[in-house]
Homo-oligomer: A and B are copies of this chain.
Amino acid sequence: MKISILGSYQTQFGELWDQGLRELLKEAAFGAIKDAGIKPSQVEAIFVANKAGGGFSNKRHISSLASQMFNHFPPSLRIEAACASGGIALVTAEQAILSGRYKTVLVVGVEKMTDVSSQETTKILTSAADVIHEYGSTFPALYALLAKAHISKYGTTREQLSAVSVKNHRHALDNPQAQFHKKLTIDQVSNSQLVADPLRLLDCSPITDGAAAVVLTSKKSLGKPKILGYGQGQDTLDLASRSSLTELKATQTAAKFAYKEAGVKASQIQVAELHDCFTIAELLATEDLGFVAHGKSGNFALEGKTTYGGKIVINPSGGLKACGHPVGATGVKQLVYISKLIKKDQFKIGLTHNVGGSGATAVVHIVGK
């Protein structure tokens, strides 16, 4: 892999009443181009990650809006793989570069979620689950099943789940683009409103507007962060068809490929943005990526091993929980955040982990210099 991250940008995440899909797309795209120090005319192709522009914004064919922002109309397309759209768009862009067709491309993830009712939002998000075999189950309900299984098998506690949320909210205090800047206590999380037992409101990532973009290039880029390896994994869409509910096999598959390609071991990862759509999801990922043994992630989080001064810094941006989760943008935002830390030499090797559905799709990127 010889792909560098030449520039990156994240818009503010949050309830952005004065910005629509187009404004967010444009801000992120040109923010990343400016950060990359290139001219817009040097963008050879655009890969747009978006989960549900048709549902949220009555807008399909978003890719053509992206092309139209440039005088030279670069070729574009939209990639969708539920909440893994961002990570999979990166994979697609990387393959396009490696094909030799393009040298420098733009990847933009965007989602404008707050323009529809919460009932409609739930319907749209749930369409990424198995709407036939899991009909009526929302994602909080599906992840609650995963949490129940983990609690049952390993004795994972309420306090351990809460520790994930507390830590991610604390990290977000240092991220100006994060949706929430609100310090939480374990008790506040543990006593927040029940959503789907055992998951409570403060276990859940929010509904978010936002966009993120990166400029990727195969050109020599001294001092720029590089993609060392990536992997993609799949599993059944419905939970009922899986042999285990205490792990996400798609994450394990994606990690195996990514570690192999990068020539890196889990123990070498110093910082990671993981897909914590719910607190249990961060715990599962911490185990599935090999940072700690199965069943040990709860204590690992509670004991402060996943923050500064611990073993590995997980979700320094605040994660999906506190930085926010504009679903199509998330996978790109993860790379934006990790690559900035690598660029500033705060860490040597980082990882991003993006999940679609309740683990049917997963993608892992490993970043270094």
Which residue numbers of A lie inside 8 Å of B, CB to CB? 22, 51-52, 54-55, 58-61, 63-65, 67-68, 73-82, 88, 91-92, 94-101, 123-124, 127-132, 232-237, 241, 250, 253, 356-357, 360-361
Of B95, B123, B360, which one neighbours A67 at CB under 8 angstroms? B360
**Residues of the B chain whose Cβ atoms lie less than 8 Å from the Cβ of A78:** 79-81
Top 6 closest pairs, chain A to chain B, by CB: A98-B99, A64-B360, A61-B82, A67-B234, A61-B128, A75-B232
Complex copy number for this chain: 2
- Shortest C-beta distance, A280 to chain B (Å), equals 20
**Residues of the B chain whose Cβ atoms lie less than 8 Å from the Cβ of A94:** 99
- Shortest C-beta distance, A331 to chain B (Å), equals 12
Of B73, B80, B132, B236, which one neighbours A60 at CB under 8 angstroms? B80
A234 touches B74 (CB 8 A): yes
A51 to chain B: closest residue by CB: B60
Given contacts A75-B233, A234-B67, A361-B63, contact A131 B58 (CB under 8 A): yes
A360 touches B51 (CB 8 A): no
**Residues of the B chain whose Cβ atoms lie less than 8 Å from the Cβ of A59:** 127, 131
B67 touches A77 (CB 8 A): no
Q: Which of A60, A99, A131, A235 has the most CB of B within 10 A?
A: A60
Of B79, B101, B127, B253, which one neighbours A98 at CB under 8 angstroms? B101
5 sampled A-B residue pairs with Cβ under 8 A: A76-B81, A92-B92, A92-B95, A95-B95, A98-B99
- 6 A-B pairs besides A54-B54, A73-B234, A77-B92 with CB distance below 8 A are A55-B55, A64-B360, A64-B361, A67-B360, A75-B232, A94-B99
**Residues of the B chain whose Cβ atoms lie less than 8 Å from the Cβ of A82:** 60-61, 64
